[in-house]
Amino acid sequence: MSITDAWGSHWVSAVNADTENSHIGRMSRFTLRLESTEGDKANFVYRAGLLSSGDPAADSQEDFIHLQGSPAAWAELADANAAPRRHDLLALLKSQEGLTVVTGYDGLLRHLRVITRLVEIGKANATV
C-alpha cells in the first residue's frame, strides 16, 4: 500500500480546506516526493498553504524533500492507531524499518510543522 492509496485523492482537498494549515503554511514552499521501496511514488508541491499533486517547475528554487519507505511504513504513517514509536513521522524516521529522508533533510526540518500537519490531516482522512 502506498501513502496515496491510504490517504486518497481527497487528501489534497482536505489539506487545502484546513484553516490551521493555511495559517502555519503561508510562508512555506517545498516539493514533497513520497516513495515506496517498491517503486510507487507521488510528488506534491506545497506553496503558501496550498498543496497540489504534480512535479515542480524545472527551475524551482523551492526545497525538495524526498521520503522513502516500505509499504508497511507508509501504512503505519497513515494509521491513526499505530503503535507507540511507529505513530508519527519523526518516530518512523528514527526506526530502522521506518521512513528514510533520501534528500532534503534541511528542508524537512525547515518545514517540519507544516509537514507534520499534512500527516495529521492525512491520518484523519485515511482509508486504512
**Between 126 and 109, where is the model more confident?**
109
First to last CA, the chain: 10
pLDDT of residue 8: 65
pLDDT, position 72: 87
The answer to whether the beta carbons of residues 27 and 48 sit under 8 Å apart is: yes
| The residue to which cell 511514488 is assigned | 41
User: For the whole prediction, is pTM greater than 0.85?
Assistant: yes
How far is residue 32's CA from residue 19's CA, in Å, rounded to a whole number?
A: 21
- Per-residue pLDDT of 30-55, as tens digits, reads 999 999 998 888 899 999 999 998 88
**CATH 3.10.105.10 fits domain 3-125:** no
- Calculate the CA dihedral of residues 25, 70, 43, 13 and round it to 10 degrees: -60
Compute the average pLDDT of residues 100-115. Answer: 95
Could you report the per-residue pLDDT of 59-101, keeping only the tens digit for each?
778 999 999 999 888 888 888 887 787 778 888 888 888 899 9
Handedness of CA 73, 78, 84, 90 (dihedral sign): positive
